[in-house]
Amino acid sequence: MPGYKGKIREILESMGIYIGCKIKITLGNNFVIYGLLMPKHELSHSDIIVLKLDNGYNIGIDIEKVSSIDVVECREKATTEKTPRRSEITLKEIPTVKILGCGGTIASKVEYETGAVKPAITPEEILELIPELKGLANYKVDVLFNILSEDMTPQHWEIIAKSLLKSIKEGVNGIVVTHGTDTMGYTSAAIAFALRNLPMPVAFVGAQRSSDRPSTDAALNLLAAVITTLKAPFAESVVVMHASPSDAEAYIHRGVKVRKLHSSRRDAFQTVNDLPLALVDLQNREIHVINDRYIRRKSVEDLVPIIGFDDRVAIIKAYPGIQSEIIDALVDKKFHGIVIEGTGLGHMGSYTINSIKRAIEEGIAVVMTTQTVFGRVNMNVYTTGRRLLEIGVIPGEDMLTETAYVKLSWVLAQVRDLRRVREMMLTNYVNEINTRHTANMFIDLGIKLPKR
């Protein structure tokens, strides 16, 4: 009875109720609720019963408001036998896609015996979840780790890159990486730098809403990712997610130019300072290229793996009143790199310049990006920017802060000489820098004023 204690646990156990039982709860006003008994977090309120309703949503019910509990049905308890971490399903004469699990809710299914959501880590489970995938490819599934997106680290990026390299050398025809959405942009950027001249797209995919919710986007996104890695003419690390709130299309975003711009919308991911690479038409299972500035597929022999990331890199966001001591602390702690997310064209409070200068003199690479999301830094316009350039701050061009952070981490794992670091940070390796911006690269809200 995970999460249940005291009075509630005693009541449920005395009635033979366990996780996954369908029960009927009658409230004091004779309002009746049916649902599956769910496990709950240990930190949840001790007097709450959690049910999964027939519509897929969970609800918490205060035991003090319950007048009666009745058992409707208790299925056989779920087996505790562990599912193998690696599995495959094979049909003849169709391509093979590797699905690499790195956490998140994208490749998950509802375990109706318990009402919980668990990773779908075999091809059979994934095809059960998304039958539209049948016939497109053979599937090999390997779960590297099942962690929360916010727990991803540069060490995890290295593990993912090495696993992808192994899969590519094994001769798979496509690769999909399932990942939590919150930090997926960081990981997709890391793979873009670590594995260059790819023979196929590496399609990162996530879900804003888990498979136990009626509005889940998991099936569409995963289907679009498989189509992408098999059919797209380009070979980059990409993010594949909903193009709109509807279920008709998905965008393919360049992995070094994408950001999650909404906490919950299904079309939360947007390309920044560039155009999406392509659109996936789910109905016809076609790829429509939008951006012809892409890296074409290469042979496996052309693959350039440079895997390694320095975890002594930090991001600082400029804000009114930011304390110079924050920079000093990073210097004292022997960090190797700092990315400053500056204001406007790339600025930081002028009173911090001495601390930034000290950092650079101590051999710490300092890169400037902008917190405006869209646009590029131009540190030649105003006095503060020019002073920062003079002391050695590296302009981050139009790179997203997270891309600059990942790139600096990758560069510092190779070199520490600041002149060489500057040179590499200003080198455009995988289209992370776009020298030409057009008006259609900025979000148009499409708001129309009412006619008078």
Quick one: CA dihedral 277, 282, 283, 285, positive or negative? positive
Which three-class secondary structure state does DSSP give residue 30?
A: coil
Q: What is the DSSP letter of 97?
A: E
Q: Which of 105, 271, 369, 401 is catalytic?
A: 105
For this structure, is 181 an active site residue? yes
Q: Which residues contact 419 (CB under 8 A, 6 or more apart)?
A: none
Q: Which of 182, 247, 281, 311 is catalytic?
A: 182
Q: Which of 22, 98, 260, 407 is catalytic?
A: 260
CA–CA dist 21, 48 (Å, integer): 16
Contact between residue 273 and residue 375 where contact means Cβ atoms under 8 Å apart: yes
Chain centre distance of CA 264:
13
Phi, psi (deg, nearest 5) at residue 432:
-75, -20
CA–CA dist 56, 276 (Å, integer): 33
CA–CA dist 203, 227 (Å, integer): 10
For this structure, is 182 an active site residue? yes
Which three-class secondary structure state does DSSP give residue 63?
A: helix
Q: Which of 381, 398, 379, 401 is nearest to 390 (CA)?
A: 379
For this structure, is 369 an active site residue? no
CA–CA dist 90, 5 (Å, integer): 46
Chain centre distance of CA 166:
22
Q: Which of 341, 318, 309 is nearest to 408 (CA)?
A: 309
CA torsion, ordered 431, 434, 438, 439, to nearest 10 deg: 90
Contact between residue 204 and residue 184 where contact means Cβ atoms under 8 Å apart: yes
CA–CA dist 155, 161 (Å, integer): 10
Q: Which of 114, 122, 178, 181 is catalytic?
A: 181
Contact between residue 385 and residue 378 where contact means Cβ atoms under 8 Å apart: yes
Residues marked as catalytic: 105, 181-182, 260
